[in-house]
Amino acid sequence: MPEIGAERLVRLVQERGRPFRVLIVDDEEWVRDVFRDFCRTTEAFEVDLADGGIDALQKVEAGQYDLVTVDLIMPEMSGLEVLAEIKRLHPRTPVVVVTGNATDKVVHEAGLLGACRVLYKPVELQDFLAEVTSALDR
């Protein structure tokens, strides 16, 4: 039987000896809070939050993250722009795209720019942990 997300995360953290640093990027505060709370269900994460693309890129430039989640549709800077810049700065950092209403074309473009996963809102806890764990376990 395969390990579920939380069990696998615990194993990965034990192997590396420290929690994963995760940046959650979304222009909606409640979405950031939900994903932060998802991460708090396990001690596998240290979480930073960014309220948009500019804030996210400042944080990515200032520190190293093991994973970034980014909303596709944001007002000041699109998630695709944020994704492209993160990949330019840190090509090996996995980026999970989260979207509630993106077209197939935009999702395809996210894949071409280097997104490792796409999650569709609303996101369930088990799906979030499974996708994040899979991205981190690569």
Q: What is the pLDDT of residues 71-87, one digit of tens each?
A: 998 998 999 999 999 99
Q: Is the pLDDT of residue 55 over 60?
A: yes
Q: What's this model's pTM, rounded to 2 decimal places?
A: 0.92
Token representation of residue 88 = 């330019």
